Amino acid sequence: MKIQPFHLAIPVYDLEKCRKFYKETLGCGEGRSSDHWVDFNFFGHQLVIHYQDPKDKAQAISNPVDGKDVPVPHFGVVLQWDVFQEFSKILKSKKVNFVIEPYIRFEGKPGEQATMFFKDPCGNALEFKAFKNIDQLFAT
């Protein structure tokens, strides 16, 4: 089966702040848009931010992982190891406020991975990760 890009739509209460964040901070190319939504090339996938009244926003929760509070819900992509390392440096240089700073999980074990979490300006949590060996993406 050939893998296709995914499509994800998320709510935002400040369309212009998030447009700037995804374009300038994350470097995502902008596609089609209207006054209520914007499409982005999110690392080869389609991400659409949709305006949502802040009164309709659900309360965020977290789940403990490795002694850290992982925001739920969250979304993101799996990057190549070297791309993750470079991207995390770029985000640090842009003073992104990390929920969980970049770190290595399962070091030296099956599924060894780098991971980091941060939020967009409207509080949507993003996780970026990379596997030392991508063949271990689903290793147990």
Three-class SS of 88-123: HHHHHHCCCCEEEEEEEECCCCCCCEEEEEEECCCC
Q: Which range of residues forms the domain containing residue 87?
A: 7-52+70-136
* Residue 45 pLDDT > 80: yes
Q: Is residue 63 part of a domain?
A: no
Half-sphere exposure of 47 (CA within 13 A, CB side): 24
Q: Is residue 130 part of a domain?
A: yes
Taking CA atoms, 2 is separated from 5, 43, 130, in Å, by 10, 17, 21
Give the span between the Cα atoms of 134 and 76, in whole angstroms. Answer: 16
Q: Is residue 45 part of a domain?
A: yes
Domains held by the chain: number: 1
Q: Is residue 17 part of a domain?
A: yes
Predicted TM-score (pTM) of the model is 0.87
Q: Is residue 65 part of a domain?
A: no
* pLDDT for residue 104: 96
* Residue 59 pLDDT > 90: no
For 60-92, what is each residue's pLDDT tens digit? Answer: 677 788 888 888 788 999 999 999 999 999 999
CATH number at residue 85: 3.10.180.10
**What are the structure tokens assigned to 110, written together?**
């099956």
109's CB contacts (< 8 A; 6+ apart) are none
Q: Is residue 129 part of a domain?
A: yes
**What are the structure tokens assigned to 31, written together?**
């596609």
Q: Is residue 64 part of a domain?
A: no
Give the range among 14-28, 54-68, 124-138 with minimum mean pLDDT. 54-68
DSSP 82: H
Q: Is residue 26 part of a domain?
A: yes
* Residue 28 pLDDT > 90: yes
